[in-house]
Amino acid sequence: MGNKANYAWLDSVYWQTEDRKTLKKINQLFKDISRNGNRGIGKPEPLTGNLSGFWSRRLDKQNRLVYKIDDGAVMILSCRYH
């Protein structure tokens, strides 16, 4: 993943300053993913193409949390935009 993980961190920092409600939703989704894998809240959907193996969950109409579960570890790719 390398540098791509930095995008998720920058997205998180953005939400900390711009919309705490969305940040709270991100935290809820992360907890749900940790507990339930690729099932649960936020309408989980498997991604295709160059993001095959990743999943997305809705934060709101425009933004998605994109993640992958690898050996039990949750890796967040992004939590902003669609």
Residue 50 is encoded by which pair of tokens? 């160059």
Maximum Cα interatomic distance, the chain, rounded to a whole number of Å: 33
Q: How many folded domains does the chain comprise?
A: 1
**Domain CATH for 36:** 3.30.2310.20
Tell me: the pLDDT tens digits for 18-46? 999 999 999 999 999 999 999 999 999 99
Catalytic positions, please? 45, 82
pLDDT confidence tier of residue 3, bands split at 50, 70 and 90: low
Q: State the pTM of this model.
A: 0.88
Q: Which domain, by its residues, includes 34? A: 4-78
62: left (phi over 0), alpha (psi -120 to 50) or beta: alpha
Q: Residue 8: what pLDDT? A: 86
